[in-house]
Amino acid sequence: MARPRKFVERDVISSASEVFVVNGLAATTLDDLVRATGLGKQSLYNAFGGKRELFLRALSEDRDEAARAVSEALQHGDASPLERIRGHVLRRAIEFSRSDSRVSLATRALVESTGEQDQLSTVTKAGIEELAGIYTHCLEDARRNGDLPPDANLPSLAMYFVAVIRGMELLGRAGVGRAALTAVALDSLRVLGAEADADPVQA
């Protein structure tokens, strides 16, 4: 029938994503995207509809990938559910303390959104709730395992960890070092039970 596309959407979104992660939405130029993706302005426009729409696509991809990654981190392994959460939070802290750590698309979306009805916010909120749901499942496993009191409010705890991780991201971006950030992570984990001295991450 018609001329086939020269590109794969996934690859284009992935390239665009890298640019957005570095520059954000407002500071990224259509030209940046053209250079990064290799396709022409018009092709970009045909396929996605513009800068903002492309960002939205990248954001959705990012949300899916983040959910997948966390889901895997919290399910696999021979450690107990509680230990998996502990390890995960600590790993994020270490990640965020890297001096070249970038701000996630999700956070950028929140900051650059114009309000709560902005798709930038709604998509990100959905992502946050998805993550919280994943944490909740793991916490339920931990409770079943007897590592958490029966009356613990799991969804709330889950949302709490989302907040802590978001906060650590920002602190890392500010240049707060690894030692301080892991200490923050360990403090945050104390709500799960007292003994938080051992370091479950082989750093």
List interacting residues with DNA (CB under 7 A). 1-7, 28-31, 39-43, 45-47, 50-52
Q: CA distances (Å), 80 to each of 144, 161, 175, in order?
A: 11, 18, 32
111 binds, among DNA, its own copies, none (CB under 5 to 8 A by kind): its own copies
CB of 98 to its own copies, least distance (A): 10
User: Of the two residues 51 and 86, which places its CB atom closer to DNA in the complex?
Assistant: 51
Distance separating alpha carbons of residues 203 and 200, to the nearest angstrom: 9
Looking up tokens 């939205």 gives 56
Question: Of its own copies, DNA, none, which one sits near residue 79, judging by CB under 5 to 8 A according to partner kind?
Answer: none
Interacting partner of 153 out of DNA, its own copies, none (Cβ under 5 to 8 A depending on kind):
its own copies
By beta-carbon proximity to its own copies, the closer residue of 79 and 183 is 183
Binding residues for its own copies, per CB under 8 A?
24, 26-27, 99, 103, 107-108, 110-113, 116, 121-122, 124-125, 128, 153, 156-157, 159-160, 162-168, 170-171, 173-176, 180, 183-184, 186-188, 190-191
- Nearest residue to 119 via CA among 173, 161, 57: 57
Q: 186 with 162: CB under 8 angstroms?
A: no
First to last CA, the chain: 55
Cα(6)–Cα(3) distance, integer angstroms = 9
The Cα 121–Cα 46 span in angstroms is 25
The entry of DNA, its own copies, none near residue 121 (CB within 5 to 8 angstroms by kind) is its own copies
Binder of residue 202, out of DNA, its own copies, none (CB less than 5 to 8 A by kind): none
